[in-house]
Amino acid sequence: MLIYKSSVTNTYMQNILHIVQIVISILLIILILLQQKGAGLGAAFGGESAVYRTKRGAEKIVFTSTIVLSVLFFLSALANLFIS
């Protein structure tokens, strides 16, 4: 028995997946730009002298959200590969 994929359903799923990828990519760009730049440079001008510091508060949320969104983007790219 042959099972045919409906082209309407397949096109609808591709459109939804493209929109999801665009939204995830925009959120990833925003989160990457929100992360602190040059955290190690502060020690040169009398700032922090610690070699290792833990992420706390909003910085930790932004960091973990970036990782989660990057994994979701990768999974949606794989799904897009298999759908098309």
* Stated pTM of the model: 0.71
Residue 19 lies in a domain: no
Residue 78 lies in a domain: yes
Residue 69 lies in a domain: yes
pLDDT recorded at residue 48: 56
Residue 48 lies in a domain: no
| Number of domain units in the chain | 1
pLDDT recorded at residue 56: 80
pLDDT tens over the chain, length 84 residues: 555 556 677 788 889 999 999 999 999 999 999 887 655 444 445 555 556 667 788 888 999 999 999 999 999 999 998 887
Expressed as residue numbers, the domain containing 74 is: 56-84
| Six token digits for residue 78 | 């794989």
pLDDT recorded at residue 70: 97
Residue 70 lies in a domain: yes
How many of the other CB atoms lie within 10 Å of CB of 30?
13
